[in-house]
């Protein structure tokens, strides 16, 4: 990632504020402990109320919207409980008042420390000149007919964009190449992720910007780019009033993909009717039935970064940029698409008992705790097998001769986004209490590192 894309490092005042926010809490707890040892019930209640009040206060000053409102309400209720306990149990009013004051100062200091670091920042973008000859390719069948439903052909005519409909039997790659040959200086695709990958490859090879119009079923690429997947017509604004950024592309044996490629049992499920709605969840729920005594482990051979060899895996997912995943279904999004790395996830399950354990952990959003779960980043990854390998590439079912060689193409694609687009992946906007909590952010700022 370029230096200008990275979060700003904390200032000395922010580091000092983070230190005070963290230090004020144990001091406040000590104030309550002194002189209260004879009233344990009241002491425990007061300590719990103080802890809840301070941590809720930290979240209230570092979150927005509904999370801020809920955290603020929690702060008020916790401190009200603390005051009530003080009067009922006859705790020292002075000590309780001092503890509340320290809690308030801790929350205020947290705001100072995190005001520049508690919000996701969109990837660096620069204004892009209006193209002289924009062309949008459209797949009328994608997403159940969204191209016609949203009147994209008419919208293109009104905006001075040449619209090209993909007809039955036509080759999308040839249409994209023809558009470039006719002088397109910005080329867009209204279709699913598989279609986006084809047109993106052509755009990258010719060095012209690509526009994503989300008319597919799931539109994972648009999601991770921070586009509003429900505002299909608004995506056309990228042609006239757009900003530009660069993202990575990934390849498997030279074939470009924008999201991910999957191998193993999941790859065999890509053509199932449930696939597009459930995706990896379908594979996870099917695993117990596929691990019986007669089941043959997939012949997928690979090595971990330390060189440790593996001879099988039930699932292998290689993504264009690492996914942030707590469970399989619908949770995989990418914080960055310009890191110059692949994300690699492998899942190995040896028997039905392990399948049951994995299913339980996945339902609880704790897949990383499963012993057979491995996740790392790499610039290159190779999978070997004795015969042709079934693989799902951006949702398309394929069979590829081994070895399968995955590679990254750092910042290969020029991408145009509407100026009004959020431009931030859900993985950056989400609150992750275990890995990116406010407490973790305060500690990071205190140590001189960016919180996000």
> HEC string of 221-247?
HHHHHCCCCCCCHHHHHHHHCEEEEEE
Ranges in the chain annotated CATH 3.40.50.10330? 128-249+412-427
Q: Which residues share a beta bridge with 400?
A: 389
Distance CA 402, CA 399 (A): 10
Beta strands at 404-418 and 242-252: parallel, antiparallel or unpaired: antiparallel
Q: Which CATH architecture has domain 128-249+412-427?
A: 3-Layer(aba) Sandwich (3.40)
Architecture category of domain 257-410 in CATH: Sandwich (2.60)
Q: What pLDDT is stored for residue 431 in this prediction? A: 40
Is the pTM for the entire model greater than 0.85? no
Query: Cα angle vertex 173, ends 170, 175, to 5°?
Result: 60
| CA atoms of 203 and 188, how far apart (whole Å) | 9
SS3 content of the chain, % helix, strand, coil (to 5): 45, 20, 35
Q: How far is 185 from 260, CA to CA, in rounded Å?
A: 27
Q: How far apart are CA 125 and CA 134, in angstroms?
A: 20
CB atoms within 10 A of CB 403: 13
Per-residue pLDDT, 239: 96
Q: Are 410 and 248 in contact (CB under 8 A)?
A: yes
Which parts of the chain sit beneath pLDDT 70? 1-9, 25, 29, 31-47, 50-51, 53-54, 56-72, 74, 79, 82-83, 85-93, 95-96, 111, 113-125, 266-294, 327-332, 422-442, 449-452
Model pLDDT, residue 412: 98
What residue ranges of the chain are covered by domains with CATH 2.60.200.40? 257-410
């Amino acid at each position: 990632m370029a230096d200008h894309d990275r979060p700003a490092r904390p200032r000395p005042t922010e580091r000092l504020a983070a230190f005070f926010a963290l230090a004020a809490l144990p001091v406040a707890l000590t104030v309550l402990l002194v002189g209260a040892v004879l009233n344990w019930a009241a002491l425990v209640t007061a300590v719990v109320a103080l802890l809840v009040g301070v941590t809720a206060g930290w979240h209230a000053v570092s979150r927005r919207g509904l999370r801020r409102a809920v955290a603020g309400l929690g702060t008020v209720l916790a401190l009200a409980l603390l005051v009530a306990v003080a009067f009922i149990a006859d705790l020292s009013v002075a000590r309780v008042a001092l503890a509340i004051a320290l809690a308030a100062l801790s929350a205020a200091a947290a705001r100072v420390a995190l005001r520049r670091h508690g919000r996701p920042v969109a990837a660096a973008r620069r204004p892009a000149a209006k193209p002289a000859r924009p062309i949008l390719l459209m797949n009328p069948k994608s997403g159940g007919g969204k191209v016609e439903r949203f009147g994209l052909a008419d919208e293109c005519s009104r905006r001075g964009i040449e619209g090209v409909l993909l007809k039955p039997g036509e080759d999308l790659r040839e249409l994209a190449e023809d558009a470039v040959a006719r002088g397109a200086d910005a080329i867009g695709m209204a279709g699913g992720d598989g279609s986006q990958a084809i047109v993106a490859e052509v755009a990258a090879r010719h060095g012209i910007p690509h526009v994503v119009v989300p008319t597919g079923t799931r539109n994972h690429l648009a999601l991770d780019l921070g586009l509003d997947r429900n505002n299909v017509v608004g995506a056309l604004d990228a042609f006239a009033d757009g900003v530009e950024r660069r993202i990575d592309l990934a390849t498997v044996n030279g074939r470009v993909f924008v999201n991910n490629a999957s191998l193993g049992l999941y790859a065999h499920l890509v053509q199932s009717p449930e696939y597009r709605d459930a995706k990896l969840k379908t594979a996870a729920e099917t695993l117990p039935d596929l691990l019986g005594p007669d089941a043959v482990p997939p012949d997928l051979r690979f090595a971990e970064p330390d060189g440790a060899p593996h001879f099988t895996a039930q699932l292998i997912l290689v993504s264009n940029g690492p996914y942030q995943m707590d469970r399989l279904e619908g949770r995989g999004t990418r914080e960055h698409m310009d890191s110059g790395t692949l994300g690699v996830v492998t899942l190995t399950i040896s028997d039905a008992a392990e399948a049951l354990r994995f299913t339980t952990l996945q339902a609880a959003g704790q897949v990383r705790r499963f012993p057979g779960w491995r996740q790392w980043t790499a610039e290159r990854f190779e999978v070997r097998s004795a015969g042709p390998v079934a693989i799902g590439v951006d949702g398309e079912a394929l069979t590829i001769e081994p070895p399968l060689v995955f590679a990254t193409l750092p910042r290969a694609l020029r991408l145009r986004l509407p100026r009004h687009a959020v431009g931030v992946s859900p993985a950056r906007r989400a609150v992750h209490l275990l890995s990116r909590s406010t407490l973790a952010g305060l500690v990071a700022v205190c140590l001189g590192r960016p919180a996000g």
